Amino acid sequence: MPERESTPRQAVISLRGATATLGARPVLRGVDLTVHRGEVVALLGANGSGKSTAVRSVIGQVPLTGGSVELFGTELRRFRRWGRIGYVPQRTTAAGGVPATIREVVASGRLSRTGLRWPGKADRAAVDRAIALVGLADRAKDSVSALSGGQHQRVLIARALASEPELLIMDEPMAGVDLASQEILASTLREQVALGTSVLLVLHELGPLEPLIDRAVVLRDGCVTHDGPPPEALGQHALPGHDHVHPHAAAEPVRTGLLT
Amino acid sequence: MLFEFLNPPFMQRALIAAVLVGITAPAIGIYLVQRRQALMGDGIGHIAMTGVGLGFLLSTSPVWMATAVAVAGAVVMELIRWYGHTRGDLALAMLFYGGMAGGVMLINLSDTGSNANLTSYLFGSLATVSESDVVAICVLAAFVVLVTVGLRRQLFAVSQDEEFARVSGLPVRVLNLLVAVTAAVTVTVAMRVVGLLLVSALMVVPVAAAQQITKSFKVTFVLSVVIGTAVTLTGTVTSYYQDVPPGATIVLLAIAVFVALTALAAPLARRRARASEAKGAECTLEVPPARRGADDVRV
């Protein structure tokens, strides 16, 4: 994008020409995706368009068959400072096979800073702050299995925030989240962005996060079909997954074989 | 005399072994339950049988041989989990039953091994815990406690959400291997007291019992170790007086605790629900009723 090159900002995520396959099926077919410092980028697309794969390849959870990934200007293979990244995976639950409190789950997000050393006072304070940010301070000692879907998502986001990240990567943070929790998540995110945090989020629709988003990248069948301002006021209809058959939009002429 | 069971030296050895089993089995078991691999200990127990057989055949210590073979088996299991996605379960089946069959065969081939020996390893036996066994069990138990307590934060994170742990930059493969190796070591710690076929029960049942009434990982950990120690000690003493097999007694006691705590859990949960209802009553007005319908419509 030429207008951005005139004011060069550091790219916190730089995915170039990424290709990936699941089994024999190509899922990414040359995806370019850049997130600059302080930017909020939404990755949109239908189910199966490759948006989750793209995000997971950025953090090294899906191996690329071609192309390259850089995080904070460092090649993914050499990147070690994971505390700079807060990752919110696509999950419906924060619970495991054994009871755990909200605080215990959120505290595990601090390990990207502490690693194998013991947590200190500052680490515990960061965990408490992260829990307070998502509005669960009064429930920190409750078991996560007693929470609603939206509260689970808030716990997962607090876990990502516990490392005080410069970059948040979220895979469908609004999936299965009730409206009240969506508002809380949106305001949490707004505060983070105001503090300068860069965000890459996979979304199915823009929803309450729309005002926050600087740029939208739309994927379709593993290719980028749009990279620019978020598709305005069109809501779901703008997305390729929302397959209306428009009579005037016959992209490909019907091949009957009669003329060739 | 009240503590008469403490007098015979074989009982002293058996009780030391029992306490260490009661601590270590739930301590590693909680991570297996957390990652929903509750039956992993059972598989390792089967594999360890080959080690016991090798120990008899080569006239070395069965405990150390079993440790070596169980650790190797656990590492192979972990490798199958990494690489063999499609036929992983069948590969594990080969490993488990091959291990068990190999052990039975080797014991029969050896001069010193007999069916009585085989039974003592399969179901546990107090009278046969030797002094060198106790030394081995102490060393191995120290390793298990060091790993499960010292690395509890890291192991919790890996067992709770493996992908997130990888993105946190934790050495997930090393930690997974460490869990597998520690589980294998625990199997051989517990082998003499509860037997290879019932080892897994002591890793899983105290944890399952504890989590009926707990809310946090920390309390579940402590309570399951308390339950584990209580049932192994009680079971060992009971088998001294009543001449019942210690392994079976211990496991049945653990299941009894599970049933008791489950029965206790229902009224406890009701009380907690009432308490949180009372808390919730103060803030029900925050969400306008008109919005509630919309909450459910979203996909």
pLDDT of residue B272: 73
Q: Is B261 on the interface with A (CB under 8 A)?
A: no
Kindly state the greatest CA–CA separation across chain A: 77
Nearest residue to A123 via CA among A162, A165, A81: A162
Q: Check A108 against B169: CB less than 8 A apart.
A: no
If DSSP codes are grouped into helix, strand and coil, which group holds residue A14?
A: strand
> CA-CA distance, B17 to A49, in Å (whole number)?
57
Alpha-carbon distance A108 to A24, whole Å? 36
Encoding tokens for residue B9?
A: 């030296």
More confident residue, A99 or A230: A99
Residues from chain B contacting residue A105 (CB–CB below 8 Å)? 160
Q: Give φ, ψ of A92 to 5 degrees.
A: -100, -15
Q: What's the token pair of residue A109?
A: 């997000």
User: In the prediction, which pLDDT does A211 show?
Assistant: 87
Q: A249 pLDDT band (50/70/90 cuts)?
A: very low
Tell me, what's the ipTM?
A: 0.85
Beta strand ranges found along A23-147 (DSSP E):
25-36, 40-45, 66-71, 74-75, 85-88
Locate the domains of chain A by residue range: 11-228
Percent of chain A with pLDDT over 90: 55
pLDDT for position B186: 93
Mutation pick from B28, B160, B175 vs chain A, by most beta carbons of A within 10 Å, is B160
Residue B255 burial class via C-beta count within 10 angstroms: exposed 0-12, middle 13-18, buried 19 and up: middle
Confidence at residue A4, expressed as pLDDT on a 0 to 100 scale: 43
Distance from C-alpha of A62 to C-alpha of A257, rounded to nearest angstrom: 41
> What does the pLDDT read at residue A15?
93
Residue B54 forms contact with A (CB below 8 Å)? no
Which candidate from A81, A98, A178 shows the least CB-CB separation from B220? A98
Instruction: Pick out chain B residues at pLDDT < 50.
Output: 283-299
Which domains are assigned to chain B? Answer: 7-280 (1.10.3470.10)
Cα separation, B231 vs B51, in Å, equals: 27
**Pairwise CB contact (< 8 Å): A99 & B215:** yes
A80 to chain B: which residues are within 8 Å by CB? 169
Report pLDDT for A239: 52
The 3-state DSSP class for residue B235 equals: helix
Mutation target among A72, A78, A98 for the B interface, most CBs of B within 10 A = A98
Please give the residue that has the higher pLDDT: either B292 or A214.
A214
Which residues are CB-neighbours of A129 under 8 A, at least 6 positions away? A161
A180 closest CB neighbour out of B30, B156, B287: B287
> What are the DSSP calls for B136-202, one per residue?
HHHHHHHHHHHHHHHTHHHHHHHHH-HHHHHHTT--HHHHHHHHHHHHHHHHHHHHHHH-TTTHHHH
The amino acid at residue B138 is C
Q: Which CATH architecture has domain A11-228?
A: 3-Layer(aba) Sandwich (3.40)
